[in-house]
Amino acid sequence: MNLQRMSTKKMGRRPTPKPVIVPEPVITSVKPERVAHLASECLVELRLVESRKEGAFWLHEYEVKGEPGKVEKFLARLRDIEMR
């Protein structure tokens, strides 16, 4: 076949694989400013989907996108803030 063409072809750098992006729904009562600051620290993308009042508290629903490890880190830190 085209063995000569394949063997003389310059071998370029392999393209770096794109990171896997995982969307994750999150509902929390933490203030949006704190959640946005935490998202920027954890290097994830945050989108506010809905805010609604349940009893005396506001609940905010977000969609979090990012690499799996970063999303898990964000969720763990958010749960830690909720416990305080």
Structural domain span for residue 53: 18-83
Residue 30 covered by a domain: yes
Count of domains forming the chain: 1
In terms of pLDDT, which residue wins out, 22 or 4?
A: 22
The two three-digit tokens of residue 75, written as one number: 């969720």
pTM: 0.74
In the chain the first and final C-alpha atoms are separated, in Å, by: 68
Chain centroid to CA 12: how far? 31
Q: In this model, does residue 6 exceed pLDDT 70?
A: no
Whether 8 is in a domain gets the answer no
4: pLDDT confidence band, cut at 50, 70 and 90? Answer: low
Domain membership flag for residue 67? yes
Sign of the CA dihedral running 66, 72, 77, 79 = positive
Average pLDDT over every residue of 67-80: 94
Residue 19 pLDDT: 74
Q: Is residue 60 part of a domain?
A: yes
- 60's CB contacts (< 8 A; 6+ apart) are 27, 28, 29, 30, 32, 35, 48, 50, 51
